[in-house]
Amino acid sequence: MSEHLQAQDVMKSYRLLGIGATTLIGAQYGDELDYMAAAWAGVCDYDKGYAVVAGSHFTRKLIEKSGRFIICYPTVGIVEQTMKLGTISMNDDKDKIKNSGAELFEAEGFSMPLVKGCAAWLEYEVIQDKHSDNPYEMFFGKCVRAMSDSRVYSNNHWNFDQAPDHLRTLHYVAGGHFFAIGKEIVLPQYEE
């Protein structure tokens, strides 16, 4: 897949996140790396994102210690791994990542291993200010690195209809039910 990896402009990272797919949130501190599934993550500015990570999650401690997190968009091709990353806690299973079936890879410019089979990967530095300690357990982050699978996102646009269906993003409901992103709708009079 490495031939499809394409760096993206962090100032346009809102376009990656704008379609609102379910995410994987990753963090690493020392030898400990965790990824958890999260639907409560998204955009708060052109180059800024947020993720709600409750205090009970192992991932939260890693973000607090490292000051960094990854938001990535898993796809239909890794829906089972995504579900496992969302249901197994590293508090209970130190081999969670391996047991989820998720495969990792290293990519230039990212500070931690990434999950294979995602449509996009974004790394954030936690913004430390008076809003860091908020009642929603939200981390706010500044995007420092963005990358996509160019088969589904290039030139700052998503393009799913010409790509294999297993690369479509996931949108979670509950109880093991997801929707894949669907067909494109174009209003030609607004094209850039």
164 binds a copy of itself (CB under 8 A): no
15 binds a copy of itself (CB under 8 A): yes
Lookup: tokens for 79: 């829906």
42 binds a copy of itself (CB under 8 A): yes
31 binds a copy of itself (CB under 8 A): no
Q: Which of 106, 86, 75, 91 is nearest to 25 (CA)?
A: 86
Q: Which of 1, 7, 11, 173 binds a copy of itself (CB under 8 A)?
A: 173
Q: CA-CA distance, 68 to 70, in Å (whole number)?
A: 7
Nearer to a copy of itself, 31 or 191 (CB): 191
Q: CA-CA distance, 82 to 170, in Å (whole number)?
A: 9
Q: Which of 157, 158, 185, 184 is nearest to 75 (CA)?
A: 158
Give the number of other Cβ atoms within 10 Å of residue 3's Cβ: 7
9 binds a copy of itself (CB under 8 A): no
Q: Which of 19, 55, 64, 107 binds a copy of itself (CB under 8 A)?
A: 19
- Scanning 62-70, 89-97, 109-117, 151-159 for contacts with a copy of itself by CB under 8 A, the matching segment is 151-159
Nearest approach in angstroms of CB 15 to a copy of itself is: 6
Q: Which contiguous run of DSSP H or E holds residue 24?
A: strand 23-29
Q: Which of 144, 5, 124, 135 is nearest to 71 (CA)?
A: 124
Q: Which of residues 56-115 bind a copy of itself (CB under 8 A)?
A: 76, 79-80, 83, 87
Nearer to a copy of itself, 76 or 112 (CB): 76
Q: Which of 8, 27, 22 is nearest to 149 (CA)?
A: 8
Residues near a copy of itself (CB under 8 A) are 14-15, 18-22, 39-40, 42-45, 48, 52, 76, 79-80, 83, 87, 129-131, 134-136, 138, 140, 156-158, 160, 168, 170-192
